[in-house]
Amino acid sequence: MPTLITIPKEHRALLSRLTPEDVERLRLSRANTMAPGPVGDTSQVTGPGAVPAEPTKPKRKHVDRSSQWPAVGTFLEGQFRGETFRAQVVAAPKLKSKRALKLLSAPVKGIIATSYSKAQDIVTLAHRQKLGVRGKIGLPAAWIWWKAATSP
């Protein structure tokens, strides 16, 4: 069974000029110089006009985000435009990560956020409304991400 290869447009014109004798010569030279690979394997294709298919990208390794949460009871701090916000990691058995953030800074004191980014959105909402900012424009640039607090 012949090996199937992907041929770019720019090489199709060159292939149309090949004579049957050229094709037979290429087939014989390939058979003599290379071990046969599995059907569809283009890693060993050589010769004029033969272009191997693009190599496939390796799949990204899954990262379990639930293991990246600090221990329950840890105090965290984040900053937005000079204002410091505090939160505490609490147990949340219904969530996949089994953890959530309890916000400790006014005016959102006591609210439970299910993720770091949701907590960031909640604590900066009043500040963004006061500035007249629509949506989350400028939030990532001005926000200093949650870090372990130096003191409880």
The answer to whether the CB of 54 falls within 8 A of the CB of 92 is no
Domains in the chain: boundaries: 1-55, 67-148
Q: Is the pLDDT of residue 102 over 80?
A: yes
**pLDDT digits 0-9 by tens, 23-54:** 777 777 766 655 555 555 555 555 566 665 66
With a CB cutoff of 8 Å and minimum separation 6, the contacts of 13 are none
Mean residue pLDDT across the chain: 75
User: What does the alpha-carbon distance between residue 142 and residue 73 come to, in Å, rounded to a whole number?
Assistant: 27
Own/partner long-range contacts of 68-75 (Cβ < 8 Å, ≥24 apart): 69/97, 69/99, 70/148, 72/99, 74/148, 75/104, 75/148, 75/149, 75/151, 75/152
CB 100 within 8 A of CB 119: no
Share in percent of the chain as helix, strand, coil (round to 5): 30, 20, 50
pLDDT in tens, 127-151: 777 777 777 665 666 677 788 887 7
- The pLDDT, as a whole number, for residue 149 is 82
Backbone angles phi, psi at 124, to 5 degrees: -95, -5
Residues 64, 39: Cα–Cα separation, whole Å: 36
